Amino acid sequence: MGFGLDFLSSTDSVPWLMLESSNRPLKVRLRHAAVLLLTAFTGVSLVAAPADRRQRRDFAWTGETMGSRYSVTLARAPLADNEVERLKADVDAALQEVNRQMSHYQPNSELSQFNRSDSTKPCQVSPHFAEMTRFALELNLRSRGAFDPTLGPLINLWGFGQKGTTWQVPSDAQISEAMTRCGCQHLKVTERGELQKDIPQLQLNLSAVAKGFGVDEMARVIRARGVTNLFVSISGEVAAFGLNTEGNPWRVGIDSPVEQSAHGEDIEAIVPLSNLAISTSGDYRKFFTDAQGRKYSHILNPKTGRPLQHNLLSVSVVAETCHVADALSTTLFVLGPEEGLRWIEQYPNASALFMTRAADGRIKKFASSKFPRWTDTKP
């Protein structure tokens, strides 16, 4: 669930954008995201000083999407102000299209209509929707069920879904009944790109893929305009291309997985990023506790239908695309630190940073062999 999703699931943390002008540094908080962007800018604005139309300048803006906020930062972009305005409109249109296809909060989205339908006949959907569903089903097989996009009934039962946050511990009978309506074996994508379920009650939930795909779409639209240096994010899903204004890789800070801590207040690690994406999953943002003080997070174990119970606090995945990083971070959180580390070492073009709770209460960090050279802010 990546950093989870508002439109699709939950939110795990928030980035701060560090900007430097000629006079003083500015710290701009970007709500509902999971990283810290550390870079230097001069004159970051849509109203930068007028110059030659093709002069390379820096731009940054934010907007709303998927029940959350998105951010865009362009470094040394060969764009005029009017071109940036058109680009903003194109980015918004691309995000609206992802929402139209895969949101389970919008009642008229393709996903919502598929979930409401009792038909077991093939259902025609948009190509990108079919592509993300196919990817999710393939990952389910590859992870031996750790990643499961059909847990909608269980997510709603535990109070983490679109039906509201009526958080309470369900009975064993309720969990067993909800699990009869889940399972990737009941869903397929046909050769013609249609979705088909073989039980009427099956519900598809792409909360661990769609927001990452939205980031990929933002990057695609911007790069198509000839921009090579960019940072885009939706909540905790991030993609960075090229270099920042100083000519260095973008620096992404990962929040310390501490409950009740303010977003961006406590950074645990900093990762350099260029032409890659990153996503983090954790259990420290969206959870509830029962009368006995037991914690139940929003990430469920598909095999038990219950929230996960292990010492893994968060896992951050770097991959070539954001939808892959998004899905893999959820997969690794389900697998746990030991099995997850072994699994990600075998996955092509992806790596991970794990944070666990040691016996003495301290946070322990370790990474897979291909993870970028990161900076531990708290050795």
What tens digit of pLDDT does each residue of 215-228 get?
Answer: 999 999 999 999 99
pLDDT (tens digit per residue) in 99-153: 999 998 899 999 999 999 999 999 999 999 999 999 999 999 999 999 999 998 9
For the ranges 14-23, 238-247, 367-376, the lowest mean pLDDT is seen at 14-23
- Give the pLDDT band of residue 236 (cuts 50, 70, 90): confident
* Rounded average pLDDT over 33-49: 36
Question: What are the extents of the domains in the chain?
Answer: 121-197
Task: Please give the Cα distance from 111 to 371 (Å, whole number).
Answer: 34
Query: What is the per-residue pLDDT for 33?
Result: 38
pLDDT (tens digit per residue) in 58-69: 999 999 998 889
- CA distances, 15 to each of 81, 231, 300, 306 (Å): 25, 12, 25, 30
Residue 51 has pLDDT above 90, yes or no: no
For the ranges 283-287, 300-304, 338-342, the lowest mean pLDDT is seen at 283-287
Q: What are phi and psi of 183, to 5 degrees?
A: 130, 120
Task: Please give the Cα distance from 260 to 48 (Å, whole number).
Answer: 38
Task: Please give the Cα distance from 153 to 140 (Å, whole number).
Answer: 17
pLDDT (tens digit per residue) in 20-32: 333 433 344 443 3
Query: What is the per-residue pLDDT for 158?
Result: 73
Residue 263 has pLDDT above 90, yes or no: no
* Rounded average pLDDT over 81-94: 97
* Rounded average pLDDT over 29-40: 40
Query: What is the per-residue pLDDT for 266?
Result: 85
| Burial of 49 from C-beta contacts in 10 A (0-12 / 13-18 / 19+) | exposed
Q: What CATH superfamily classification does 121-197 receive?
A: ApbE-like superfamily (1.10.3980.10)
Q: Rg for the chain (alpha carbons), in Å?
A: 20
Cα angle for residues 327, 212, 181 (degrees, 5° grid): 50
Task: Please give the Cα distance from 71 to 62 (Å, whole number).
Answer: 4
Percentage above 90 pLDDT, the chain = 65
Query: What is the per-residue pLDDT for 162?
Result: 65
Task: Please give the Cα distance from 313 to 290 (Å, whole number).
Answer: 19
Handedness of CA 227, 230, 232, 237 (dihedral sign): positive
Q: Which residues contact 222 (CB under 8 A, 6 or more apart)?
A: 72, 74, 87, 91, 230, 232
- Angle between the N-to-C axes of helices 322-335 and 337-345, in degrees from 0 to 180, rounded to the nearest 10: 140
pLDDT (tens digit per residue) in 320-375: 999 999 999 999 999 999 999 999 999 999 999 999 988 888 899 999 999 999 99
Q: DSSP string spanning 181-232? A: T--GGGEEE-TTSEEEESSTT-----TTTHHHHHHHHHHHHHHTTT--SEEE
CB-CB contact of 238 with 347 (8 Å): no
CB-CB contact of 372 with 351 (8 Å): yes
Q: DSSP string spanning 225-249? A: TT--SEEEEETTEEEEES--TTSS-
pTM (predicted TM-score): 0.85
Mean pLDDT, all residues of the chain:
84
Q: What is the length of the chain?
A: 379
Task: Please give the Cα distance from 25 to 1 (Å, whole number).
Answer: 33
- Give the pLDDT band of residue 159 (cuts 50, 70, 90): confident
- CA distances, 127 to each of 123, 209, 246, 371 (Å): 12, 15, 39, 32
pLDDT (tens digit per residue) in 179-230: 999 999 999 999 999 999 999 999 999 989 999 999 999 999 999 999 999 9
Query: What is the per-residue pLDDT for 67?
Result: 81
